[in-house]
Structures are given as C-alpha cells and as structure tokens.
Chains A and B, each alone.
Chain A
Amino acid sequence: MAFAAFATSEAQPEAPKKKSRVAFFLLLPGILYLILFFLTPLISLILTSLQQPAEFGDVGEYEYAFNWQNYVVVIQDYLPHILRSFGYALVATVFALLFSYPIAYFIGVKARRWPLLQSLMLVLVIAPFFISFLLRTLAWKQILSDESLIITSLKALSLLAPDAHFTGTPFAVIFGLTYNFIPFMTLPLYTALERLDTRYLEAGSDLYANPFTVFRKITIPLSMPGIVAGTLLTFIPAAGDYVNASRDFLGGPDTQMMGNVIEANFLVLLNYPAAAALSIILMAAILVLVGIYVKRSGTEELL
C-alpha cells in the first residue's frame, strides 16, 4: 500500500549483526540514489528559496542569503492560488472517490464469480494509461471547447446559455483532475474490496443492520486502507498538478493553481527564490495535511 510509507514504523526487534550488514549492503544503492537525487536537490531547493537578488546583477541573478522574507512575500502574493490548489484537489479527490468506489466495488465484490469479467473491467480501468495523459487532457479540451459538437448542440437546445464556456472554468479544471486520477483511486480501492470477506456483511445483516448500515458500518471501515491509499494517490499529485489548470489545457486566468504559479515564476519571471519557496510551502502543506489525515483515519489495525 502506498501509504505504508507514511505509517510510523514500530521498533523492530534487534536482528543479528551479520544479517544487518547484509541488509545494509542491499539498502546501499537505494540510499545513495536518494541522497543524490532527492536529498541534494531538496537542500538546493531550500537554499534557493532563501536567496536574494544579486546586487548590481541582471534579472534572474541571485546570491545565497538568509532572506526568509521570500516566504512572506509569496504567501501574500499567491495565497488565493495556494488555497485554490488544495480546494480543487480536495473536490477532485472527493469526486474521484464517489465515482471509483462503485466501480471498484463492482469489480472486486460483485464480479467475483466471473473472473474473466473482473480482469476485463480492470483492463478498462487501466486502458487510459496507454495514451499520454497530456494527449488525453488535450482531447478533453477539444471536446469541451466552445466550438465543439457537444457545447454547440447543448447551446442549440438551450440547455446552456449562449455565452457559457466550459474550458477555462473551475469546473473544467476539476473535471480534468477527477478524470485523470480516477484510475489511481480505483486500483487501491479494488485491492481492498477484492479481499473483503462477504461473511462479515452476512453477519451484519444477521445482526439487524439494513443494507445501508452494513455498508456504512462494515464495508467502508473494512475498505479503509484502500480509501486512504486512493485518496492520497489522488490528492497529493492533484494539489501539485499544473497541466489541467494550465491555460494551454483546461484552465484559464482565474483557475491558476500552485503548479502554474511555480512554473511561471521559474520559467517566465525567472524569480527562482519565489518558485522554490512556493515548492517548499506546497510540500510542507501536503506533508502536514496527509499526516493529520492518516493519523485520523485510524487504519493501523487493518494493515
């Protein structure tokens, strides 16, 4: 499970010395890789976020300093974007969960008697991965654009106001996020529901619980590991996503998320410290939110 990485590891009993040396050698490549490609850039990012413009320098020239005001400035400038990022990511996660749960339940529980149907439906869930998600998002841009068949016919039928738009609205961005992350939600949910012992559901109905109560009190708690894993796999990348909200795809000027702001600061404005500070804020915020979420969902017993 993806979120096992977030779980607090309990103290393992002391292993014999020899074994621990073998374990160390086995871990070495991974540790070196992480130092080189994760820790070093992270430190560099933190240092960049504290830089200040070089005296008498050109645009885009900075020198190392302890300029913590960078953080204050980006929060003041980009607070709406920060809030929007987490707002969109949250709504998209909720929608992805609402769409994915029935799919995963059907594949994992109802279709158990037909293994072939089960695998066929799983393939359908994974099928979008065969096409680059950039292309798929562009395709949605076409489908939802003002000149598209769907929008023009909706307008012709007066189901949509003549001056209404889809692309460039928060709706389109959340739609795109939801669409792109449904497989990441469905697969962990499926793994959890596929193991669901239906005898617990029978025991629940035997103990006077109606089907809704059985679902609420038994099915959902027992599939909690899948729900936690799926929502994390959706929420974290969605909060940092800069494709769906981009003006080149489904977004508009009013739907910019943190990812877009970081991109603009880094590539257009050449304000590297601001981009770095925003990245650190994004990371820290996700870490805190996810930490609270995993702690509160209390799935330790079900692991």
Chain B
Amino acid sequence: MAVREFAERGADLELVGIQKRFPGFTAIEELDLTIPAGSFFALLGPSGCGKTTTLRLVAGLEEPTQGRILIGGRDVTDTRAHERPVNTVFQSYALFPHMSIIENVAFGLKRRRIDDAQGKAHEALRLVELDHLAQRRPAQLSGGQQQRVALARAIVNRPALLLLDEPLGALDLKLRRQMQLELKTIQEEVGLTFLHVTHDQEEAMTMADTVAVMNKGAIEQMGAPQELYELPRTAFVANFLGQSNLFSGEVVSSNSESITIDVAGHPITVPLSRSQRHQGEVTVGVRPEKVALHLEAPLDDSGRNSLGPARVIDVSFSGVSTQYIVSVPGIGTMTVFAQNMGFGPVAVEGSEVWVSWDVAHGFGLADEPDSIERFPSDDDTRTIAVQRREALISELEGD
C-alpha cells in the first residue's frame, strides 16, 4: 500500500496540460488547473463538458492522453487508483451491497491497515448521524442516508483530496439544501481539499470558494462565485450561471471610464473596466435583477441606461419576486426580476413600461451570444459509448 498514514491536511491539486481523448471524440481539450490545499473547489458545467472525466482522471479511474497530475506536489499521473491519496463520493454512491454500512465505511481503513478501523468508522458515521444504522445493508437505507454513508466512507480515510461527483443529484431539493450545508460544515471541520463536480449552478455558488465553469472540455472562467456572477467574461458563463440580458452592437464612443455601444439606435454604456473588448462589435449584458421597471419614462440620467417604451408580454409571480418578460422594439425580449415590495406585480401583461439599470452594473463579454448552444450537445461519455457500440455492431455485421 502506498498510503498508510492519514493526510495531515488537504493537499493541493495541480493539473498540467491535461488532454483526454476517447476513440472518436475529445473530452478535455487542454486543461491547466491549480486547486489550493484546503479549498472547496467546484467544477461547474453542463453534461458532457468534461467535468466528470476530469474527476475520473484525478481519481485514477481514467488515464490522461497527455499532461501531468500532481497531488501535494507529487506526480501521480502513472500511479493506479488504489495508490492515490484521493477518495471519491460517486454519483451512484456505489455502496457495496453485500456489506453492512459499517463494513462499507471501514473498507478503506482496513485496506490501509489503519488501527481501530471499526472505531474510526463509527466515528465517521456519527459525524453524518447514521451510527444507529451501522449494521444495516445499503439497500435498507433511503437515498439521502446512502448519500451520507458514501460521504462517511470517503472522509473516514482523511484523503488529501476528496472528489465529489454530483453526489447530491439524486436527492430532493430540501434534502439537497440540508446536505449542502452539512458538506460545507464537514469540509471546514476536517480541512480537506474538496473538488466538487456539479451541473447545479446554485449548488456550486453556495458551497464553493472557487468555481470553474467548464464548457466543451475547457475552463471558460474561474473565480469566486460572486465574481463569476457579477462579472461573467463569456456569453456561456453569463447564461449558464444565472440569467442575463445580452445586447450586441458596434462601439460608437469610448472614454477613459466607459464605452458606449449602439443597439438598434439605443445607446448602452458599460464601464471600461468591466468590458473585455473595447472596440468593434461588442456584446454587453446586465443581470435581470439589476434592471428596474418603470411605468413612466425615466428622466435622462447619464448614470443609467434606459430602454423604452416597451411592452410586458409575460408576468410570472413566484412569491419573493416577479419575473417580467419585456419586449423592447428593435432589440427583442428582456427579462426583469423585481422584488415584491408591495402586494403583487406592479405591471400587468400588455402594459407599456420602460426599463433602466445602473451603468456600473453592466458587463461586456469577450465573445458573441450565438456561440451558446440552445440544447446540450450529445457528446457526453455515455452517448458516445452508445454510438460507438452501435457503429461497431453495424461494422461487424457488415452493413
């Protein structure tokens, strides 16, 4: 066994020039990533973006086509899964059905011949409040309980790096929120490095210190959740992480502080520091909750962008806030979120309204919105495997 000792604390993870090709497609184009020790890092992206492949590469369940993987400064690229100081909480939990809960949790400790495996396993089960079910079989537990056992089975080994592969995906919303909090608490308590893979942007933002948004096998943008949300750099991030109203147009004027673009005759101003491109065709955007709705034309204010008159084409009330879809002539539709400060919506379907937002809230993107795919592409691992299998069958059958 390579690892007999518990990791003192989390280790940092470094991916250098990783590329992963499967027969017929490339899952990861080129990936460089450093995750500092003790951090909670989330890899966020739609299905098929390469995030699960990244996780499997780190766990040692796949081999990279190119590149190196370093954990705590040690190159582990050529070591096998059981030799790496890494544990995974699998999406399917993968609890061994022929073992009791306690045997499942003690499995890793026993393989590493750590003293008092039973005692430590019970301790880990107490942490997830399931010690009373220690003698049960996995099939006798609910989904949420199984998930906690899977977590206990991984953290009991005190791995330098804990990998979470959408472990909360199968849980209902309420349980998911509860588990998110528990995970975060546990991470802070034990001080491990967590690498969490998810397609749920809210989950990534509430839990992680750092979020990396992945798309088509590459990282689009990486940073603190708030930073990513308030200042997305690409159209993919702007739309995958929350919603955005995007406008494209030619830059008509710029000064040391801001640029102004012309969108179908309306000037829209964005701070220079918040824009990735400063000339030519530029796409700018604003988050729907930053936009204010007015029933009368707002007064001219150089500090605000305003559009109108426009027409409300849809109102949907969701308790805390109301979502308005507004059609702006010559521009298209915009989404506006308004807090329900009074009773009910302020505008009804068909009302004439104006919209405005603080210039400082706008952001300029580095690419065009049409690069966003409307539907998730069908190049995820499973689909590819099915396609390969079908291709092979027809090839072997000679038709």
A206 CA / B396 CA spacing, docked (Å): 35
Q: Give B59-79 as 1s and 0s: 1 = Cβ < 8 Å from A's Cβ atoms.
A: 111000000000000000000
Q: Is A237 an interface residue (CB 8 A)?
A: no
Q: Is B373 an interface residue (CB 8 A)?
A: no
CB atoms of B82 and A210 under 8 A apart: yes
Q: Is A221 an interface residue (CB 8 A)?
A: yes
CB atoms of A206 and B98 under 8 A apart: no
Q: Distance (Å) between the CB of B73 and the closest chain A CB?
A: 21
- CB neighbours (8 Å) of B95 from chain A are 203
Q: Is A103 an interface residue (CB 8 A)?
A: no
The size class of the interface chain B forms with chain A is 20 to 34
Q: Is A209 an interface residue (CB 8 A)?
A: yes
Q: Give B98-112 as 1s and 0s: 1 = Cβ < 8 Å from A's Cβ atoms.
A: 100000000110011
Query: Which among B61, B97, B107, B112 is the interface contact of A202 at CB below 8 angstroms?
Result: B61
Query: Which among B90, B112, B137, B388 is the interface contact of A208 at CB below 8 angstroms?
Result: B112
User: Which chain A residue shows the least CB distance to B2?
Assistant: A208
Q: Is A199 an interface residue (CB 8 A)?
A: yes
CB atoms of A208 and B94 under 8 A apart: no
Q: Distance (Å) between the CB of A226 and the closest chain B CB?
A: 13
Q: Is B327 an interface residue (CB 8 A)?
A: no
The size class of the interface chain A forms with chain B is 20 to 34
CB atoms of B108 and A199 under 8 A apart: no
CB atoms of A222 and B97 under 8 A apart: yes
Q: Which of A98-153 contact B (CB under 8 A)?
A: 113-116
Interface core residue of A113, A197, A205 (most chain B CB under 10 Å): A205
Q: Distance (Å) between the CB of A113 and the closest chain B CB?
A: 7
A217 CA / B111 CA spacing, docked (Å): 11
Q: Is A200 an interface residue (CB 8 A)?
A: yes
A116 CA / B153 CA spacing, docked (Å): 38
Taking A208-B1, A208-B108, A210-B1 as given, write out 7 further A-B residue pairs in contact, using a Cβ cutoff of 8 Å, ordered by the A residue number: A114-B392, A116-B393, A202-B90, A205-B82, A207-B108, A208-B82, A209-B111
**B residues engaging A (CB < 8 A)?**
1, 3, 59-61, 80-83, 86-88, 90, 92, 94-98, 107-108, 111-112, 137, 139, 153, 157, 388-389, 392-393, 396-397
13 contacts between A and B (CB under 8 A): A115-B389, A200-B94, A202-B94, A203-B94, A204-B96, A204-B107, A206-B61, A206-B90, A209-B82, A210-B1, A210-B82, A301-B97, A301-B98
